[in-house]
Amino acid sequence: MALLTFTDSSRTLQAGKIICLGRNYLEHAKEMKAEIPKEPVLFLKPSTAIIPSGGTIIIPPFSRELHHEVELVALITKAGRKIPRAAAMTYVGGYAVGLDMTLRDVQTEAKKKGLPWTVAKGFDTSAPLSPFVPAAEIPDPHALDISLRINGALRQQSNTRHMIFRLDEIVAYVSSIFTLEPGDVIFTGTPEGVGPAVPGDTIVAEIPGVGRLTNYIASAISDAR
């Protein structure tokens, strides 16, 4: 069971649902040649997908195209459903930097066939997550620089002010569908610049003030015993 930790080691929480937004940055929607959504596009990952900083992301044997997506992640620390937008931020108790690792070839095939994204998005090791900074330390979650480097080369760089749907709106919308519980996390979408990560690569994802992740890429095929 994945345990979520805080940077100030104030407490730990059992990881619950992982709710993710697709296409929440205009420039990313454009690079995917996807429509700009009128309401949040949601998908889920299992909590078993979580790995910590320092962990290795394993590309499953049925994929040849792993993509990186760096995202701001919000932690729910209070239970609620049908949360009004005005109260939404009181349900967010922490922030982390996360990676929504995606098997792009599997996802493209699923999109073509009208099938769910579950395998492409929810495989083991698909959700690297830093420790959480208490929300009180982040006065404005919509003013954070966010970046990702592979082997030192800058691949993604943006700011959370470019989100299409803001966090209060996201929490209100998500809670109108799923009851939220302490330990649930919300991946808020990735900015532009997504691309491949291959075995041997080192990914460093960073949101200054929130966290930094270092993760390694390996292939399940080369690991096969």
Residues making contact with Mg ion (CB under 5 A): 69, 100, 190
Residue 20 CB, shortest distance to Mg ion, in Å, is 6
Residue 91 or 187: the one with the smaller Cβ distance to Mg ion is: 187
Contact (CB, 8 A) for 36 and 26: yes
- Residue partners of 170: CB distance under 8 A and separation at least 6: 21, 40, 74, 88, 186, 188
Residue 191 CB, shortest distance to Mg ion, in Å, is 10
Residue 53 or 190: the one with the smaller Cβ distance to Mg ion is: 190
Residue 69 or 168: the one with the smaller Cβ distance to Mg ion is: 69
CA 141, distance to chain mean position in Å, is 15
Cβ-proximal residue to Mg ion, closest one: 100
Residue 102 CB, shortest distance to Mg ion, in Å, is 7
Residue 136 CB, shortest distance to Mg ion, in Å, is 26
Q: Which of 72, 76, 74, 89 is nearest to 13 (CA)?
A: 76
Residue 222 CB, shortest distance to Mg ion, in Å, is 26
CA distance 104 to 119: 10
Residue 105 or 134: the one with the smaller Cβ distance to Mg ion is: 105
Strand partners, 22: 41
CA atoms within a 13 Å half-sphere pointing along the CA-CB vector of 132: 27
Coil/strand/helix, residue 165: coil
CA distance 198 to 194: 13
Residue 90 or 192: the one with the smaller Cβ distance to Mg ion is: 192
